[in-house]
Structure 1
Amino acid sequence: MAFENPSRDEIKEILINAGNVAIVGLSDKPDRTSHMIAQALQGNGYRIIPVNPGVSGKILGETVYPSLKDIPEPVGIVDVFRRSEFTPEIAKEAVEIGAKVLWLQQGVINEEAAEIAAKGGLKVIMDRCIKVEDSLLIGKRS
């Protein structure tokens, strides 16, 4: 059966109950899309957790972790800014840490990753931008 994203109502519920959002592939460069989206999410009240093995220290004031397994607290959404071929391994880690959602950003599609995550009990969203969905479904929080 072909993959299908959750309904808009389900995505809205996912965003409302997001918890921590681990952003895999978050860049420390302000001109990168991942950085701009993470900053926008922070501005709308989300707690982001940067995941990038190539960066140490902090991004947007938050400690950077080399992998999902290194994050010492619960993660609700794993938001992925990596090429599609890297996502099955990320999906496995998301299952291992007990995340609730695997979110592959716009342009990132991998059926194997979706299957791994779904079998592990995660909701899966592919080829959608979390910032766009948040803006459309929730809007600016006060």
Structure 2
Amino acid sequence: MSQVTDPEDLIPSILAESRIIAVVGLSSNADRPSYEVAHYLQSHGYRIVPVNPTYAGAHILGEPCYATLQEAASAVEKKGQKIDVVDVFRKAEDIPPVVDDAIAIKADCIWMQLGIAHQAAAEKARAVGLKVVMDKCIKVEHALHA
């Protein structure tokens, strides 16, 4: 039997306990899945923190966009808050450095969107106590568990 907690068991508590979600790879294009998901989460009371170097300095969904997860975390910390979930819209091969950043900012969870998984990075995150969800859409899971 695996020692890893089934992500299905973690999802309701992640969604209930989290308030601030950094969306890595968030696009300003309303037709992109990242925008749709972030808008949905925002409309359900979560604070979205956009992270995308392409849009750094601009605003997406009314929130300032940051070039890096570290910059985003620093801005949130200035308000006495922290990023709870790092929701990733990037290719699987881009996941390891995002996991390193999530560990560095002491996020509680790394969430890899539908179609994205990276086992080695997930194991690294779990080894330091992060909750890990892979290959699942946070919007779909919220709708199922809300």
Q: TM-score, normalised by structure 1?
A: 0.91
After superposition, the Cα gap between the structure-2 partners of 1:82 and 1:3, relative to the gap in structure 1 and judged at 3 Å, is: farther
What is the CA-CA distance between 1:115 and the residue it aligns to? Answer: 1.3
Partner of 2:65: 64
Q: Tell me the secondary structure at the aligned position of residue 116 of structure 2.
A: coil
What is the CA-CA distance between 1:5 and the residue it aligns to? Answer: 4.0
Partner of 2:79: none
Partner of 2:96: 88
d(CA) in 2 for partners of 1:43, 1:5: 28
Q: Which aligned segments of 4 or more residues in structure 1 are displaced greater than 3 angstroms? A: 1-5
Matches for 1:1-142 after TM superposition, within 5 Å: 5-8=6-9, 10-56=10-56, 57-71=58-72, 72=74, 73=76, 74-138=82-146
After superposition, the Cα gap between the structure-2 partners of 1:2 and 1:55, relative to the gap in structure 1 and judged at 3 Å, is: farther
Deviation per CA, 1:63-89: give whole Å up to 9, x if none: 101111112221100000000000011
What is the CA-CA distance between 1:19 and the residue it aligns to? Answer: 2.2
Instruction: Name the Cα RMSD after superposition.
Output: 1.5
Deviation per CA, 1:49-70: give whole Å up to 9, x if none: 0000111311000010111111
Matched residues, percent identical?
42
Alignment gaps of 5+ in structure 2: 77-81
Alignment gaps of 5+ in structure 1: none
d(CA) in 2 for partners of 1:123, 1:137: 17
What is the CA-CA distance between 1:119 and the residue it aligns to? Answer: 1.6
Larger fraction in helix: 2
